[in-house]
Amino acid sequence: MFAAKEPFTMKNPIFGFSKLTKTQKIDWIANHYFNHNPEATSILKAYWNDDPSLQKLHDDFIENTLSNYYLPLGVAPNFLINDTLYTIPMVIEESSVVAAASNAAKFWIQKGGFKATVLSTEKNGQIHLDYYGNKKNLELFFTEIKPLLFESIADIQKNMEKRGGGLLNIQLRNVTETLSGYYQLRCTFETLDAMGANFINSCLEAIATTFEAEAQKFKAFKDAQQFPKVVMSILSNYVPNCLVRAEVSCHVNDLEQNDINGTEFAEKMLRAVAIAKASPSRAVTHNKGIMNGIDAVVVATGNDFRAVEAGVHAYASKDGTYSSLTHASLENDIFKFWIEIPLALGTVGGLTSLHPMVKFNLQLLKNPSAKELMKIVAVAGLAQNFAALRSLVTTGIQKGHMKMHLMNILNGLQASETEKKKAVQHFKETTISQTAVSDFISSLKK
């Protein structure tokens, strides 16, 4: 719809783009990539917020903002977690995710609901070092300097310490067997209700500055070649000691489905999990389904879903092979299904205090602490996986998924409301596909 009338070839780059006004940026994009097509400008402006102050707020989240990119905000009700009932907000574009979560919540609410426990909340970051001298000298220096490294961040962590958090420990790690000359200062932190990325990075950089300055004074480092040098200082999104567990359990008889008894269903579920543990190619899709639920809540609450994704997938490989994040057992006629997952989340700072929808969603969740949010997010992932496996081992995944996807296909075909109603009725008993729906709408138009 917005294609240029003729191909455009960029001959010269643009410098200083970020210094242009938003209108100038939009005009430049429209002129250079859409051949002055006014529709390109119109679609960008159509998604501006009518409230100028809210639009300005969104403009300031990132650089070179042109417009807003909307994703649906849905809710999954009836989540009973630790005997408290929640309605969980989810931001996602994929059909059937919210419906699947809602179905899982409904399934388990009569069976005691979900139980969730935070196992640990430790986060970490590293100061990465180059050092080719005598390792004993570096160890001696670190032992001597360690108290001063703590002192160097006293001002930075003053408020965090008042709330009960802060730097927990600093360890010197020798990683030279993996990479020549490579050492780490591994720092662990408690950041309470803050995700803590900026706090951790500020602490690491201050520690690194003190470390290098003091190294210059240490007599055992005889010359420039012997000095340890800081390569970089950065937090890690791999947080295996920031763990939460979520689980469901019930008597096997309570798992009975329409056309399958409880024992058979439980055994199929166990086999499905076992396959995801044994096959990385299956585990990736298995875990992606888990992340459908997790990411949707992480985005809705203003947290960093890319950091969560990276850390979770690394955790799935912690034993040397990429494997399932969920587990299942059947013992003494009790079926259990659970997940242990690393989640570094925050409920203060960042977008949590800026984005109006994030504020709304956190209030919908009863203004949880970071620990409470960890539990809710883990439950969302477990519920999503249960719903997916339940479909896979019974009716198949496409029946429910394509039913939800039907409306997207109809909208893409620009079907009228009357045509949509007829299509929904027709495809109740007919296999849904892009071609089948297209042919059906074409037949109606004829």
186 and 278 together in one domain? no
Among residues 22, 27, 58, 94, the one annotated as catalytic is 94
- Do residue 348 and residue 305 come from a single domain? yes
385 and 433 share a domain? no
Residue 267 bears catalytic tag: no
Tell me, yes or no, whether 2 lies in a domain: no
Which pLDDT tens digit goes with each residue over 307-360? 999 999 999 999 999 999 999 999 999 999 999 999 999 999 888 888 999 999
Tell me which of 58, 115, 288, 359 is the catalytic residue: 288
- pTM beyond 0.85, yes or no: yes
Classify residue 180: in a domain, yes or no: yes
30 occurs within a structural domain: yes
Q: Is 405 a catalytic residue?
A: no
Is 426 in the active site? no
Question: Quick check: is 285 in a domain?
Answer: yes
Domain end point (choices 31, 59, 87): 59
Q: Which domain holds residue 231?
A: 123-235
One domain, residues 345 and 361: yes
Are 133 and 116 part of one and the same domain? no
128 and 115 within one domain? no
Q: Which residues of the chain have pLDDT under 70?
A: 1-11, 224-225, 396-405, 407, 428-429
The residue annotated as part of the active site, out of 25, 277, 401, 405, is: 401
Give domain status of residue 64, yes or no: no
Residue 107 identity: F
CATH number of the domain that residue 300 is part of = 3.90.770.10
Read off the tokens for 189.
């932190």
**How would you write the chain as a 3-class SS string?**
CCCCCCCCCCCCCCCCHHHCCHHHHHHHHHHHHCCCCHHHHHHHHHCCCCCHHHHHHHHCCCCCCCCCCCCCEEEEEEEEECCEEEEEEEECCCCCHHHHHHHHHHHHHCCCCEEEEECCCCEEEEEEEECCCCHHHHHHHHHHHHHHHHHCCCCCCHHHHHCCCEEEEEEEEECCCCCCCEEEEEEEEECCCECCHHHHHHHHHHHHHHHHHHHCCCCCCCCHHHCCEEEEEEECCCCCCCEEEEEEEEEHHHHCCCCCCHHHHHHHHHHHHHHHHHCHHHHHHHHHHHHHHHHHHHHHCCCCHHHHHHHHHHHCCCCCCCCCCEEEEEECCEEEEEEEEECCCCCECHHHHCCHHHHHHHHHCCCCCHHHHHHHHHHHHHHHHHHHHHHHCCCCHHHHHHHHHHHHHHHHCCCCHHHHHHHHHHCCCCCCCHHHHHHHHHHHHC
Residues 258 and 116 in one domain: yes
Residue 202 and residue 262 in one domain? no
Do 224 and 159 lie in a common domain? Answer: yes
Q: Return the pLDDT at 395.
A: 78
Q: Is residue 6 part of a domain?
A: no
Same domain, 322 and 213: no
State the catalytic residue, choosing from 190, 205, 304, 372. Answer: 304
Domain count, the chain: 4
Q: Is 389 part of a structural domain of the chain?
A: yes
Q: Are 288 and 349 part of one and the same domain?
A: yes
CB of 139 within 8 A of CB of 228?
A: no
Question: Looking at the structure, do residues 261 and 364 belong to the same domain, yes or no?
Answer: yes
**83 catalytically annotated:** no
pLDDT score recorded for residue 7: 46
